[in-house]
Amino acid sequence: TIPSPNFLHQLLEGEQDEGQLRTKVLTSLQKEQANRGKHDCLNTFSIMCKMADQTLFGLVEWARNSNLFKELKVDDQMVLLQSCWSELLVLDHLCRQVTYGKEGCIYLVTGQQIEVSTIISQAGMTLSSLVTRTQDLVSKLKALQFDRQEFVCLKYLVLFNPDVKSVQNRRQVEQTQERVNRALMEHTQQSHPGHSDKFGQLLLRLPEVRSISLQVEDYLYQRHLLGDLPCNSLLAEMLHGKHS
């Protein structure tokens, strides 16, 4: 089917509101801190995990509210999300950096900006490499003038992945992926006619997103083994799902 002009518009309508997400994350962190004694502060890594956890809740809610996703049974929804949750987190982070991030800074979901140099000076080797790789990808996306329509298409392409094992309704997933792929191609051709291969350049970023997401999962899993990862969280459950 040829995507209708408002197909992309419908996808955009399902996007979370950044301000609402920011409020939700800040409220959750304040509640967490209020439950602790004044001198028992959350360490930086735990705060980052809480932010990621709340963002992940938001992404699951986003997927769940999508009409395309609703067409799948819950078992298929679970398998797809279990497979791509960390890619969705990375894409969400990348889009936030392209939209709001200042040069040399990382823009957090709480609205705060942290100098990349500050993180690098305190982080270990793995996290430093992750930050550097991600910032490089942000630069590439900025150079490509990555916009919100393209971002939402990439999220759907990552979510509706027919290659995920044990997907029952593979054909449905394939059809949605093809439809979104076509919408992305037409959008890049219409909105950036001068950039002949923007569509191809955007798709080339997906393996990089996948690679970074796998490194993020390994990093989080290592920290989990050290007992650093807050338990009873969606983040921990999704991590276990993949490593069990």
Partner 1 sequence: KKKDNALLRYLLDKDDTV
Binding site for partner 1 (CB under 8 A): 57, 60-61, 64, 74, 77-78, 81-82, 234, 237-238, 240-241, 244
8 Å CB contact between 219 and 125: no
What is the Cα 172 distance to its own chain's centre? 23
Cβ nearer to partner 1, comparing 202 with 239? 239
Nearest distance in Å: CB 92, partner 1: 17
173 close to 167: Cβ distance less than 8 angstroms: yes
Question: C-beta of 95: minimal distance to partner 1 in Å?
Answer: 22
Which one, 208 or 237, has the nearer CB to partner 1?
237
C-beta closer to partner 1: residue 157 or 239: 239
Q: Residue 177 CB, nearest distance to partner 1 (Å)?
A: 20
57 or 219: whose CB is closer to partner 1? 57
Facing residues of 105 across strands? 115
* Closest separation in Å from C-beta 61 to partner 1: 7
As measured in angstroms, the least distance from the Cβ of 78 to partner 1 is 6
Residue 170 or residue 240: which is nearer to partner 1 going by CB? Answer: 240
Pick 55 or 77: Cβ nearer partner 1? 77
Q: Are 235 and 52 in contact (CB under 8 A)?
A: yes
Let me know: does 58 contact 235? Beta carbons within 8 Å: no
Beta carbon of residue 165, minimum distance to partner 1 (angstroms, whole number):
12
- The distance of closest approach from Cβ of residue 235 to partner 1 in the complex, given in angstroms and rounded to an integer, is 10
Question: What sections of 160-233 are H helices per DSSP?
Answer: 170-191, 198-225
Q: How far apart are CA 183 and CA 165, in angstroms?
A: 26
Distance CA 116, CA 106 (A): 6
d(CA 89, CA 157): 14
User: Across the strands, what pairs with 106?
Assistant: 114
* 99 close to 88: Cβ distance less than 8 angstroms: no
Smallest Cα–Cα separation from 68: which of 237, 210, 183?
183
For 114, the enclosing helix (H) or strand (E) is: strand 113-115
Nearer to partner 1, 72 or 183 (CB): 72
CA–CA gap between residue 16 and residue 61 (Å, rounded):
9
